[in-house]
Amino acid sequence: MTLDEMAKQLGVSKSTVSRALSGKGRIGAETRQKILSFAEQHNMLQETEQKKNTETRNLGVVFPADIYINGNPYFQECLLGICEAASLMEYNVMIITGTAVDISGIQRLVEEKKVDGIILTRSLVDDKAVKYLIDLHFPVAMTGLCDYNEVIQVDTDNELASENLTSVLIGKGFQKFALIVEDLSYRVNRKRYDGFCNALLKNGISREMQMVYTGNLKMELLDGIISDIVTHKVECIICGDDVICTRIMSRLQAEGYRIPRDIAIASLYDSQNLQCFTPAITAVNVMGRQVGDMAARQMICYLQKKKYESKVMMDYEILLRKSTK
Amino acid sequence: MTLDEMAKQLGVSKSTVSRALSGKGRIGAETRQKILSFAEQHNMLQETEQKKNTETRNLGVVFPADIYINGNPYFQECLLGICEAASLMEYNVMIITGTAVDISGIQRLVEEKKVDGIILTRSLVDDKAVKYLIDLHFPVAMTGLCDYNEVIQVDTDNELASENLTSVLIGKGFQKFALIVEDLSYRVNRKRYDGFCNALLKNGISREMQMVYTGNLKMELLDGIISDIVTHKVECIICGDDVICTRIMSRLQAEGYRIPRDIAIASLYDSQNLQCFTPAITAVNVMGRQVGDMAARQMICYLQKKKYESKVMMDYEILLRKSTK
DNA sequence: CTGAAAGCGCTTACAG
DNA sequence: CTGAAAGCGCTTACAG
């Protein structure tokens, strides 16, 4: 379709059409709108061509630079899953760093049209990045949960994992637990706490009898917590993650407690070092690689207008090891 | 430069120039050649434009999918450094997975001209990826060392780190060590062993008196190693990395040894969990983030024809903690 | 095989 | 703000 043809159909001159499409020269807002919307309707051809041009077959993944420093390899595992799925579906993966406050990298990637969609690897309560992307109607997926339905969400069911681990431990005969998780204002910690309570309820065990430690768990507080646990004759400690678990475990061992004979211990998040302990520590494996893989798959299906799930809860494994007999 | 201008300079008509450049229509082979070679000489403009078009301002980073599964977060830290440097210098980062045998992802990225250069995050003895890239004269950097001078290499000086840690420990009064590193056929383990020996030599301590355990260190062998260490009255254990260290540390604690009173322990590679132990464990911090940052910087300088270093040895930190008093 | 000329699709000073 | 017209850079039947 030439400018001349369009001009005739619209009853304007080809100069005007030219001005409307190029954006150069003076033109009335109304005329311009008329021409542009006409173009949008009839340029099926050009549109698909444009799409081919703007389709990058790249996915953007945001590396949360502020929280994974010296941290656990969850992001890395997630990324591996994303890369593998992307590669299989002939997409490439582009990485930018982002923090809770600095989303300039994301903005640059979006504005320069370097990617077709973006995968975030964590959820903040009030995420600037999510808001920015949703406002632009830019495709977003997340490994984790959030309150926006537009966002493709893939997560491990941390609540169910916590409930199941607790139930398994109850099945092994433990009745008196200590649950140690950090700040409950984090969604994941709240889920773990809820799952723990669910298991107690379903198994008819009193919540009142249990010891729960939350908040900022500094090294200095551990002695107090451990002596409290011992005083209250806790049979099994459930730790929120591998860092807390390592701290508690090593402290218990240093003080001469025999695991699991004197006290059992388990973690709601596995890591390589938990199986290096003597005894190896029972833990929930959240399988970040599969989460990443699934998030990338759903995102690509969405981009290709195929069938996709906007919310997926992934399986986890409970790795029973010797720390709980 | 327009067809008309070219036509005048060449003394032909613009029709002929058009035919030569488009390849359509009848044209004499000689005339065509004349026009094409003229175009080639004078199209400095178009050539630089082409270069701008093929310059992607993307760096490729290869995620070694086969060795980091459930592993330590070194790759992740390295990647963070790469991303930060790239972002600062207005480059983007593209990730592909690769294994020792499968370099198809790398090939695709190179053939489709998605990146200007590639950063590998490990060195294999006989690396297919490196060979492939060097043969194509494609820019390569590596976090680690290799034998090709064409490759930009950035690494931690593991030998010096091992020597220094050992020297520091000797300075603290230890004379009898056990060194536990995996397979010496890996470059990094060999370096660590060499550094250990250097320190002994410089401090006039007999190598004969020391205990060295290498090879495949399965969990089952640990009991034997530990009883051997105790029998020989080792004063300080130096572990090759955090996994070995966690295994040894936990086993020692489970058996009731008091650290560092009965025996001291240190690791040649730090990780988050080593500071979670009671007592926290002395370790070498290799700072993967800085290594990645430096590799990306050198690569970008090279791509931009700026001054760069083809081989950089990075600093490390020795984190003295309570496990060595 | 080659050139003069017509023509296409687009842009843009100029006039209103 | 808009259109008629000039003009630009290119391609291509036509004639030789």
Quick one: pLDDT at residue B101?
A: 85
Nucleotides of C under 7 A from a protein CB: 1-5, 8-13
Please choose, from the candidates A311, A308, A317, the residue with its C-alpha nearest in 3D space to the C-alpha of residue A289. Answer: A317
Per-residue pLDDT reduced to its tens digit, A242-292: 999 999 999 999 999 999 999 999 999 998 889 999 999 999 999 999 999
| Cβ A9 to strand C below 7 Å | no
User: Number of residue pairs across A and B with CB atoms under 8 Å?
Assistant: 136
Is the model's pLDDT at A69 over the cut of 60? no
| Helix (H) or strand (E) segment spanning residue A261 | none
Q: Which residues of A touch B76 (CB under 8 A)?
A: 68, 73, 75-76, 79
The three-class DSSP label of residue A35 is helix
Is the model's pLDDT at A70 over the cut of 70? no
* Beta carbons of B5 and B39 less than 8 angstroms apart: no
* Beta carbons of A169 and A236 less than 8 angstroms apart: yes
Using left for φ > 0, alpha for ψ between -120 and 50, and beta otherwise, residue B319 falls in beta
| Helix (H) or strand (E) segment spanning residue A64 | strand A58-64
Quick one: pLDDT at residue A40?
A: 74
Per-residue pLDDT reduced to its tens digit, B126-143: 688 999 999 999 999 999
Q: Which residues of A touch B272 (CB under 8 A)?
A: 70-72, 243
The model's pTM: 0.79
Residue of B nearest to A286 (CA): B70
Is the model's pLDDT at A44 over the cut of 60? no
Quick one: pLDDT at residue A219?
A: 76
* Beta carbons of A97 and A79 less than 8 angstroms apart: no
The two tokens of residue A59 are 């996915």
Percentage of residues of chain A with pLDDT beyond 70 = 94
What is the distance between the alpha carbons of residues B97 and A92, in angstroms, rounded to a whole number?
10
* Beta carbons of A115 and A58 less than 8 angstroms apart: yes
Burial (CB < 10 A; 0-12, 13-18, 19+), residue A255, is middle
Is the model's pLDDT at B35 over the cut of 70? yes
* Beta carbons of B241 and B165 less than 8 angstroms apart: no
What is the distance between the alpha carbons of residues A234 and A176, in angstroms, rounded to a whole number?
5
Mean pLDDT in residue range A188-208: 96
Q: How many residues does chain B have?
A: 325
Q: Which residues of A touch B273 (CB under 8 A)?
A: 242-243, 246, 271, 273
Using left for φ > 0, alpha for ψ between -120 and 50, and beta otherwise, residue B75 falls in alpha
Is the model's pLDDT at A49 over the cut of 70? no
> Torsion angle of alpha carbons A166, A167, A168, A172, nearest 10°?
100
Contact partners, residue A90, CB within 8 Å, separation at least 6: A57
* Least confident window among A201-210, A268-277, B59-68: B59-68
Q: Which residue has the higher pLDDT, A166 or A26?
A: A166
**Are B76 and A75 a contacting pair at CB < 8 A?**
yes
What is the distance between the alpha carbons of residues A246 and A2, in angstroms, rounded to a whole number?
70
- For chain B, strand residue ranges (E) read 58-64, 92-98, 117-120, 140-143, 152-156, 177-180, 211-213, 236-239, 264-267, 282-285, 311-314, 317-319
* Beta carbons of B278 and A276 less than 8 angstroms apart: no
Per-residue pLDDT reduced to its tens digit, B66-86: 765 556 788 888 999 999 999
| Cβ B33 to strand C below 7 Å | no
**Are B68 and A61 a contacting pair at CB < 8 A?**
no
Distance from CA of B95 to the nearest CA of A (A): 5
**Are B95 and A95 a contacting pair at CB < 8 A?**
yes
Count Cα atoms within 13 angstroms, Cβ side, for A316.
23
Burial (CB < 10 A; 0-12, 13-18, 19+), residue A28, is exposed
Of B58, B73, B278, the CB nearest to A71: B73
